Structure 1
Amino acid sequence: MTVNATMPKLGMTMKVGKISKWCKNEGDSVEKEEDLFEVETEKITNKIKSPGSGILFQIVVPVGSTVPIGTILAVIAEKGEHPERIEGIQAGEVVEMDVDSGNSQSPEPETEPKKEKRILSTPSARRVAKELGVDLTLVPGTGRDGKVKEADVQKFHEQGPPPPRITPLAAEIVKQEGLNLSKITGTGENGKITREDVEQFLAGLKNTDQPDTSQVKVIPFEGIRKAIADNMHASLQNAAQLTTFTEVDVTEMVRFKDLIKAEYKKDDSVKVSYNDIILMATARALMRHPIMNSTLVGEEILIHDSVHLGIAVALSEGLIVPKLRNAEKKTLLQIAREVRQLARKARESALSVEDVTDGTFTISNVSMLDMDGFTPVLNPPETGILGVGRVMEKPSVFNGEITIRHMMTLSLTFDHRIVDGAPAMMFLRDLARYLEQPMLIMA
């Protein structure tokens, strides 16, 4: 009995995954629940276990390829079986992995081989495709909801596959340079040819006879850096982002932190920072303004009843955002301990899928870099992200007098498609009040 290993769905918003490593080679024996391959997504690498036991008969998708969820990646066959080899990208069953268990769970045991996804097509289209030997998965459908019709199959058979998908800018460069499009490999989504692909192809055509004495350091644009670039570009392209700022008098927050420090000075395990207090205040404010604790998935706005705060952590190779789950239920000391555990796991590359997925709101603190404020970029599909600047002593009017106070700048970027300016600013106002008077957090 053959079993297909497919690209799993490792998070609510995951659409594609990149194969970063195969743990087995074709012809190797593999046991169910044994590590089979690694998927790079959401800025971490996840080990995926084999859905069955047998021989790794075929690796369909090689290392470095990015494919949609549900794509058949490999075929596992029983010893002595010789199933028909799969050519090209084919859709299979979408398996949703249980992130609560660190994606170590495999699909439920099966009593029959997985059935491949049925292509939406007319009976006559399927008959003609069978007669002509045409793979229906490759035929673009022109019917309602993309249904493949008989005419689509005939056209595909006579004219061959449609030209490769290409971005407008890349197409213009190809036209100007007179390039052969069929020789350019696309690295975009579903093999789409991008400007970078065309420029890389042009670079390979340049005459290299002349010696080049310059020294250029090449850094591969991949891994965390590539994931950050893709996410930030998509965020700015797909959301109506607006940022509002406010300066907050956090003198009482500073005193509150000093009071906790004095109370637990003999306990080395208790270390509370300004950021911990801000996290707690933000979680409480989000519960009062639930629209800010929402995500936009497809055509639906999901308002969450639990706060999963993303905490931006800067690493040498890029930025990663682990999640503090159920922050609204945690005490200040619990938040302080768990944040440090997440930061340690991030530095040690020990974060699990659950640690980096399904956040509802993000906080990015640049106070340690001595920055007053900035305009943060949304972390899709979340509705808001809070930017936190440094705490500074400066002259301020307090109780009618000019005195030295501790001041801090907060910046809130929100998706204007989901929430209007007034509700977003009311959230920021209430958060500022919590930081101005920390005892209100307990109310």
Structure 2
Amino acid sequence: MAVEVVMPKLGMAMKEGTVSLWNKGVGDTVEKGEPIASVNSEKIEIDVESPAEGTVLKITVPEGEGVPPGTVICFIGNPGEEVAVGQAGELVQKPALEKEAASNKLTESVIPARKAGERVKISPIAKKMAEAANLDLENIQGTGPGGRITKEDVQEALQKLSEQKKEKSHEKPLQLKEETQVVPVSGIRKVIAGRMYESLQKTAQLTINMKIDVTDLIALQKQTAETIKNRFDQKITLTDYIARAVVLSLQQHQLMNSALIDDKIHLFKRIHLGMAVALERGLVVPVIRNADDCRLIELSQTIKELAQKARQGQLSNEDMQGSTFTISNLGAYGVEHFTPVLNPPETGILGVGAVYDTPSFVGDQLERRSILPLSLTFDHRVLDGAPAAAFLQTVKQYLEEPITMLI
């Protein structure tokens, strides 16, 4: 009997999952536990492993299509089995002889051309070869079952292309055309693109900047480093202090810890702090829930734990939901001021730049001071520039008088 492979449920709130890539095609053999497809939901992407050894008999959900969790995305069985899905969802299996006869009939007939708009069928190895050579799949006629493009079809197309280039090598080109590599927008990148576009389209975003003198904060960080290391086996970073200052400031400026939903401003009683983490696949924002209950050392530990889970791909859907305010730090890349984009439906997001040293007058004395640039983007529909600046001023006060964050 053929085995069903279903769309996994990646979180309690998941309503739909999307197949971002098929690693196997119809007719390919698979081992038990071998990754056969990549699926994603929101900002979670995982590999789906084969539940059994056998052959991919049928793919029911193409790449880029979203379906509810539990939906059958493909069937795996023995070579020779043919599987169809009945109206009630039952499996209809046909004898191997029928498949062989159908295959013989196909090879004896003329391979039909693809219709306009029809999805290109291609084996994984042929797809990799075509992408590496930047071939247009629409111009390749497949000779495999059902018009599927095979490895041999791609090789033949490459041979024809090589011959065409030789014929034109003696001709003077009329114009130069830049070669490009086409990268499809899918998975996490596609989700981020959609959310950022929606954020800019549906909110009135304004960014204000402020410079913070963190000379005393850096001195405090160095003075307490050994004690904190010995007692908690932990290092308190500048990001940890900034997160603590933001939490304390949000408690005093509740309008910044809010969301505009259905023309109503929802003021959140608790603070759920989002900390953006940059990965190769895109940006993820794990959430520190009830951050207002955390002491500085607890906040630091949670930030590091969530960042590690993010880099190891172990974040759950719940780990990235429900934030009420977000911090995005590009200081490690040498960026000073930038314009962070709101993480909807939040009212504010704080951009943290790189610390730099500059000469500055303290009274009548010229001293070397460490400056931290901050950029606050807020939704102008919820609050005006003055209250937003007041929030940023409170953050500044905590960072310039760091002892107040420890009291």
C-alpha displacement at 1:220, in angstroms?
3.1
Letter of the aligned partner of 1:358 in structure 2?
Answer: G
C-alpha displacement at 1:17, in angstroms?
4.2
Cα separation, partners in 2 of 1:385 and 1:183, compared to 1, 3 Å: same
1:432 and 2:396 matched: yes
Residues 298-354 of structure 1: CA deviation (Å, up to 9, x unaligned): 444322222111111111222211112211111111111111111111111111111
Cα separation, partners in 2 of 1:251 and 1:367, compared to 1, 3 Å: same
Superposition map of 1:55-134 within 5 A: 62-67=61-66, 73=71, 84-85=87-88
Please name the residue that 2:130 is paired with: none
Cα separation, partners in 2 of 1:358 and 1:46, compared to 1, 3 Å: farther
Please name the residue that 1:286 is paired with: 250
Give the RMSD, CA atoms, in angstroms: 4.3
1:231 and 2:192 matched: no
Residue 209 of structure 2 aligns to a residue in which SS? strand
User: 8 Å contact 2:348–2:378 — kept in the other structure?
Assistant: yes
Superposition map of 1:3-22 within 5 A: 17-19=17-19
Task: Measure the CA separation in 1 of the matches of 2:280 and 2:196.
Answer: 18
Letter of the aligned partner of 1:392 in structure 2?
Answer: Y
User: 8 Å contact 2:9–2:70 — kept in the other structure?
Assistant: no
Cα separation, partners in 2 of 1:10 and 1:292, compared to 1, 3 Å: farther
Task: Measure the CA separation in 1 of the matches of 2:355 and 2:12.
Answer: 36
User: 8 Å contact 1:312–1:320 — kept in the other structure?
Assistant: yes
1:261 and 2:225 matched: yes
C-alpha displacement at 1:430, in angstroms?
0.5
Superposition map of 1:204-223 within 5 A: 204=138, 211=165, 216-223=180-187
- Which of residues 302, 308, 321 is equivalent to 1:344? 308
Please name the residue that 1:396 is paired with: 360
Residues 99-156 of structure 1: CA deviation (Å, up to 9, x unaligned): xxxxxxxxxxxxxxxxxxxxxxxxxxxxxxxxxxxxxxxxxxxxxxxxxxxxxxxxxx
- Which of residues 288, 305, 313 is equivalent to 2:277? 313
User: 8 Å contact 1:11–1:358 — kept in the other structure?
Assistant: no
C-alpha displacement at 1:442, in angstroms?
4.7
Residues 26-49 of structure 1: CA deviation (Å, up to 9, x unaligned): xxxxxxxxxxx986222113799x
Please name the residue that 1:323 is paired with: 287
The structure with more radius of gyration: 2
Cα separation, partners in 2 of 1:42 and 1:256, compared to 1, 3 Å: farther
Identity of aligned residues (%): 37
Task: Measure the CA separation in 1 of the matches of 2:12 and 2:380.
Answer: 25
Please name the residue that 2:260 is paired with: 296
Residue 342 of structure 1 aligns to a residue in which SS? helix
User: 8 Å contact 1:16–1:66 — kept in the other structure?
Assistant: no
Please name the residue that 2:40 is paired with: 40
Task: Measure the CA separation in 2 of the matches of 1:38 and 1:218.
Answer: 20
C-alpha displacement at 1:240, in angstroms?
0.8
Cα separation, partners in 2 of 1:85 and 1:415, compared to 1, 3 Å: same
Cα separation, partners in 2 of 1:66 and 1:398, compared to 1, 3 Å: farther
Count of aligned pairs between the two proteins: 309
User: 8 Å contact 1:11–1:357 — kept in the other structure?
Assistant: no
C-alpha displacement at 1:402, in angstroms?
2.6
Residue 264 of structure 1 aligns to a residue in which SS? helix
Please name the residue that 1:246 is paired with: 210
Task: Measure the CA separation in 1 of the matches of 2:332 and 2:118.
Answer: 45
Residues 133-185 of structure 1: CA deviation (Å, up to 9, x unaligned): xxxxxxxxxxxxxxxxxxxxxxxxxxxxxxxxxxxxxxxxxxxxxxxxx8488
User: 8 Å contact 1:232–1:377 — kept in the other structure?
Assistant: yes
- Structure 1 runs (4+) deviating above 6 angstroms are 5-9, 205-209, 212-215
List alignment gaps of at least 5 residues for structure 2: 1-5, 23-36, 49-57, 74-84, 90-115, 120-135, 141-156, 170-177
C-alpha displacement at 1:278, in angstroms?
0.4
User: 8 Å contact 1:9–1:15 — kept in the other structure?
Assistant: no
User: 8 Å contact 2:244–2:299 — kept in the other structure?
Assistant: yes
List alignment gaps of at least 5 residues for structure 1: 23-36, 49-58, 76-81, 87-181, 186-201
Please name the residue that 2:128 is paired with: none
